[in-house]
């Protein structure tokens, strides 16, 4: 498979990105050529413009898409009104032909906002929560159909619908999207058959080279052979090159290490995790160059893969394919047992990532550890201990911190992110731990509404330790919009309203 177009290997791409013509490398990666790229490259090689001449050359030969969803947005009185007003502005029309790096999708979809003018795989699930609250189930159905289209074309749902994202995926949430629509769609046999085949293909993507007997090393591609003989999974990317959308940042960091190829691959694997970047992946939490994502067995990924395997079994059972359903149920049970065996730390009362070096839990406590509870893989006693740790160590005035480690990376303390709040709240509620779930929802809404009162918009992430301060860290400025924040916050508003209306509320 050719994961990337030749554009990213051209002299003009290297020259423009290396010259730093744009403050964000993603701008040029997303540019749309006005004439065939081969002609642009030939003209560039003949002229080799630099400085102001290069700027003129680029603007003469490429179009750039502006981020317009917040332009002329009326003054809104509340965060809830803002969320409702923004859904149409974050929606994009379907297309049949590629535009620049943008991969076509057959149905309308919702983007996160800001610099992110394309779908992002795992973002879409959390966004869908809010779309359902807004009675836009049709849009959620279309987004799931887009996932199925991508799986059919590429073999998996890529990080996003950009050409340069095809080499990697993100935390697998297609099964969660299916679950959101299950009640209304599962009696449609044609829909169910199509969904089942897509889920099986996605599972195959994660399990490629996953035959235990054929794995000679500890890990191969995304599959890890455990000492007991079972298999778990890791994040991985086959490409060992700078990311086109973060070209300058990657090259600058690579100049500080002895093995740039390994660095590039570990950075890309971290992007597949969705946690780009976090102390979860760092040997030295103060140094991004120490990134070692491919040496970590992530607890959240494997819990989500249990849900994928269980959802496949559920679909097959409804299609009366009992033998295959039992097969995937068995895979889910085996993976769940391995998560308990390797990821649970009884001393800490928490689930951790595991190091591939020694198969022991890492020392980084993160909200990835709540995903087994979200997936209903834990005992009631474990859930209570996890709730105690959440309340004691993770919960801050504005919600849950991503990790208990404070660094300059955006997926660490003091930052909190909507998807992680949802994993925790949904997990707690499924074990009857509603009081803490309510406290987390209220704290998160406090952070969101504090930010809204200051800026008049919702953001990608929040400083949950000090909600009056804006979140920081990462490769770009905090983005406005924002798909998954809108979706999760909308769902929290709904759940809190239901609690208030309840006789027990």
Catalytic residue annotation: 276, 460
What angle (nearest 5°) sits at the alpha carbon of residue 307, between those of residues 301 and 313?
Answer: 140
Q: Packing angle between helix 483-501 and helix 434-455, nearest 10 degrees?
A: 130
Instruction: Specify burial of residue 357 (Cβ count, 10 A radius: 0-12, 13-18, 19+).
Output: exposed
Alpha helices in 319-353 (DSSP H): 322-343
Q: Are 356 and 295 in contact (CB under 8 A)?
A: yes
* CA 174/CA 198 separation, integer angstroms: 9
Q: Are 495 and 502 in contact (CB under 8 A)?
A: no
Token pair in block for residue 90:
């974050």
Task: Count CB neighbours of 100 within 10 A.
Answer: 18
Closest CA to 343 of 376, 306, 302: 302
* CA 210/CA 25 separation, integer angstroms: 35
Task: Count CB neighbours of 129 within 10 A.
Answer: 24
Q: Are 301 and 171 in contact (CB under 8 A)?
A: yes
Q: Using the 8-state DSSP alphabet, how is residue 487 labeled?
A: H
Q: Are 143 and 483 in contact (CB under 8 A)?
A: no
Question: Max Cα separation, the chain?
Answer: 76
* CA 73/CA 457 separation, integer angstroms: 10
Alpha-carbon torsion angle 443, 420, 457, 409, nearest 10: 110
* CA 273/CA 388 separation, integer angstroms: 26
How many alpha carbons lie under 13 Å from residue 492 in its C-beta half-sphere? 32
Q: Are 234 and 207 in contact (CB under 8 A)?
A: no
Token pair in block for residue 500:
């208030």
């Amino acid at each position: 498979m050719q994961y990337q177009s030749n554009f990213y290997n051209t002299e003009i791409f290297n020259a423009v990105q290396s010259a730093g013509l744009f403050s964000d490398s993603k701008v040029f990666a997303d540019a749309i050529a006005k004439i065939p790229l081969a002609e642009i490259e030939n003209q560039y090689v003949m002229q080799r413009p630099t400085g102001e001449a290069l700027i003129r050359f680029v603007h003469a030969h490429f179009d750039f898409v502006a981020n317009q969803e917040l332009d002329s947005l009326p003054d809104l009185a509340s965060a809830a009104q803002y969320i409702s007003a923004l859904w149409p502005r974050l929606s994009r029309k379907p297309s049949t032909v590629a535009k620049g790096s943008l991969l076509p999708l057959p149905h309308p979809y919702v983007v996160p906002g800001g610099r992110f003018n394309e779908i992002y795989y795992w973002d879409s699930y959390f966004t869908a929560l809010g779309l359902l609250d807004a009675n836009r189930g049709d849009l959620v159905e279309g987004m799931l159909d887009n996932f199925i289209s991508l799986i059919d074309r590429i073999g998996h749902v890529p990080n996003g619908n950009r050409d340069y994202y095809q080499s990697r995926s993100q935390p697998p949430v297609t099964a969660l999207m299916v679950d959101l629509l299950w009640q209304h769609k599962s009696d449609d046999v044609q829909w169910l058959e199509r969904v089942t085949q897509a889920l099986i293909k996605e599972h195959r993507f994660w399990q490629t080279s996953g035959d235990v007997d054929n794995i000679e090393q500890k890990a191969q591609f995304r599959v890890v052979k455990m000492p007991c003989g079972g298999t778990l999974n890791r994040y991985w990317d086959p490409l060992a090159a700078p990311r086109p959308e973060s070209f300058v940042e990657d090259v600058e960091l690579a100049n500080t290490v002895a093995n740039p190829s390994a660095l590039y691959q570990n950075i890309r694997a971290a992007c597949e995790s969705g946690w780009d970047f976090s102390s979860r992946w760092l040997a030295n939490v103060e140094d991004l160059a120490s990134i070692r994502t491919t040496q970590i067995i992530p607890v959240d990924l494997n819990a989500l893969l249990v849900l994928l395997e269980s959802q496949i079994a559920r679909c097959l059972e409804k299609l009366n394919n009992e033998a295959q359903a039992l097969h995937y149920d068995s895979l889910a049970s085996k993976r769940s047992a391995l998560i308990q065996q390797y990821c649970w730390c009884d001393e800490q009362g928490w689930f951790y990532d595991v190091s591939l070096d020694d198969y022991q839990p890492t020392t980084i406590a993160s909200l990835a550890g709540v995903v087994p509870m979200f997936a209903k893989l834990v005992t009631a006693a474990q859930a209570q201990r996890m709730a105690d740790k959440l309340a004691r160590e993770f919960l801050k005035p504005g919600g849950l911190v991503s990790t208990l480690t404070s660094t300059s990376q955006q997926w660490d303390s003091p930052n909190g992110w909507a998807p992680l709040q949802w994993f925790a709240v949904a997990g707690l509620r499924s074990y009857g731990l509603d009081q803490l779930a309510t406290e987390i929802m209220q704290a998160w809404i406090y952070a969101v509404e504090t930010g809204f009162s200051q800026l008049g918009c919702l953001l990608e992430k929040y400083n949950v330790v000090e909600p009056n301060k804006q979140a920081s860290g990462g490769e770009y400025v905090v983005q406005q919009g924002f798909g998954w924040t809108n979706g999760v916050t909308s769902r929290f508003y709904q759940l809190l309203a239901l609690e208030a209306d309840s006789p027990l509320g």
